[in-house]
Amino acid sequence: MIKAIAGIILALVCMEGQGIQDLLLPEVHHVSIVVVDQSGKPVSAARIEHSDERRKLLLTNADGRFDFYTNAPVMVIRKDGFRSEPVRPVNAADVRVVLKPDQIRPFPRCPKTGQYDGIEAMFSSFRFPRIAGVIASGQGLDADYVSRSYYVETPQGPKGIRHGSGPMWSLGLPLDRDVWRSVDYEEATYRFDDLSITDARGRMANGNRWRFLGMLGETASYSDVDDVTAKVLDKLLDGACATETAQR
67-99: pLDDT as tens digits: 988 889 999 999 999 999 999 877 666 788 999
Task: Show the domains of the chain with their CATH numbers.
Answer: 25-99 (2.60.40.10), 106-246 (3.40.1000)
199-209: pLDDT as tens digits: 999 999 999 99
Q: What is the DSSP letter of 120?
A: -
Q: Is the pLDDT of residue 169 over 50?
A: yes
**Structural contact between residues 241 and 127, judged by C-beta atoms closer than 8 angstroms:** yes
pLDDT of residue 209: 97
What are the C-alpha distances in Å from 222 to residues 151, 203, 208, 210, 238? 9, 12, 11, 5, 13
> What is the value of pTM for the model shown?
0.86
Angle (CA) 204 30 184, round 5°: 15
- 56 vs 181, residue with greater confidence: 181
Confidence grade of residue 55 (pLDDT, cut at 50, 70, 90): low
pLDDT of residue 8: 37
Q: Is the pLDDT of residue 128 over 70?
A: yes
Minimum mean pLDDT among 6-10, 57-61, 212-216: which range?
6-10
